[in-house]
Chain A
Amino acid sequence: MVAVAREVSSAALAARVRKAYVGNATPSFLLDLEIEVPSGITILFGASGAGKSTLLDCIAGLTQPDAGRIAMNGDVFFDSEENLNVLPQRRQIAYVFQTLALFPHMTVEANVAYGLRDAPEQARSARVSEILQMFRVEQFRARKPREISGGEKQRVALARSLVTLPRVLLLDEPLTGLDAELKGSIIEDLRAWNAAQKIPILYVTHSREEVDALGERVIALEHGKIVSEGTPREVLDAPRRKRLAQAAGFENLLAGTVLDLREPDGVMRVRLAGAPREIEVPLGHASPGDRVRIAIRAGDILLATEAPRGLSARNVLAGKIASVERRGVIVIARVDCGLIFTVHVTPGAERALELAVEKKVWLVLKTHSCHFVED
């Protein structure tokens, strides 16, 4: 076996996990990896369906791996060979879900105090107050979760998890939907807390911006396996960058050639390979004639069924629908504009626009939704 008696640093979580995953939304895959999470923030980066949440569930004990070993400082949480599986409530591993899962019938204060039932009343109250202050949500202690904003909820969820002084903190995209400034300030508060506690924090995200902002150790996951590991720059700029760009939510990755730079406008024109189409993208480090890649998120493309006029967007491409496929709450349309674009719309939009194969449509790309990737 691989991990027999391997030396680990004093406060590191070590997990070796194998789990066949049969999902109904995503194709089945095998989660098969070995990671070591030292104290401080480690980012787990990958597309949805890469196995990030499944890995966190295994570490927290909410899902049982098929095989492997999960341990921290010699305390074993799970070991398939010894048939050992510690219940989640006994692992002292805090877990902030993407949905936060605040208890809707309890006040902020009761939510935060939930994990402290063994402490005497006075100590409990003091610790709750302290952590609420630390995360700047003290003034909301008597409110219910539905009465506070998204950012405040995220702070309360963090406070609720950290007040128990966990040994490990798992964060599953806890800051989605917040603007960069708010994100930054919450992350700073988290760092301040961990400066004293020094526990391993595993932070899951599919956002490149968050990887850049958190700026620590990154583990990139793809189809249940680790594809690269290192600093954000190393991971994002690895030769696998093309696939990681897709992992980061860029469903459209287009090859092209720079035609000219329009510095006063802050844009450059790119001729797309494979079709006589030109689009405008934000100015990047390139010269005319350079081969580049442009990454566009499927959710950033607007779809119109009539030729749009009077728009600020410079890039309007006509095409035909090649396929429409509904997956959960998103509808994936593939549009043939000489080359195929993937576009996400809501089921409501699909009905309103009466999308069907062969229907003529126009794609509208905001210049700043076209991300320039050096090739």
Chain B
Amino acid sequence: MRLLLKAIIVLCFSLPIIAADEPNSTTEIPDVNTIVNKANIMAYYQGEDGKAKVNITITNKQGQTREREFIILRKDVNDGRDQKYYVYFLKPADVRKMVYLVHKHVDLKKDDDRWLYLPALDLVKRIAAGDKRTSFVGSDFLYEDVSGRSLEEDTHELIETTDKVFVVKNVPKQPDTVEFSYYNVAIDRKTFVPMKMQFYDKEGKLYRVIESKKIEVIQEFPTVVKSEVRDLKTGSKTEMEFSDIKYNIELEDIFTERYLHRPPREAMR
């Protein structure tokens, strides 16, 4: 399920659906690991690479909004589990042209490699691995929502099956490392797209909800093009919209220092 999270966010690029060759077995219910793995594979490892423009709107309790806009490029390393991300910021103005580069490692023992490029100083800064449950660009999404939570970090249990979704409960193996006690994910039975994730705090109270609000089929891949996270404790919410989504764009290895100094054309158009 780990990836389900990410799925919601990043999946936009990668969400090809396997459902096509997986006839709707409405009668047959796969076991939970199959569901989780399928959602994971569907969310991350379909298509060689992808591109999207992302608009984030953060609305706090008082109704004040802040916006972020960036272009994100993604490429899978060898069909393996590792991936590379290139994030080119367009808004707000003070971070325009900043680049955030991640070499993501799925191995729990290996931290992701991260760089930040600050154009005004021509500075390539290496960023120390951080707590993945901190806010992503000041929004209600967390780094882990974007860059991933390993399936091995949680135990998974299928707790409900309806006409439309499987509901999987995920309990962290190391509860001390996270702020939730468990979270439930509703996964579309046909497409394996995670439709809703609900996080419960240590007292068992629902406090955080991520929902897939709009799904489109892009290059035959069902893709979440709009998702929303609501923090029930702070009263703030963040909406994330994806546009200009393309899969299999034959990205070269642009995930290097060369392309920090000067972004690839794919990131600028």
Q: Do A and B bind each other?
A: no
Q: Identify the A interface with B (CB < 8 A).
A: none
Residues of chain B whose beta carbon lies under 8 Å from any beta carbon of chain A: none
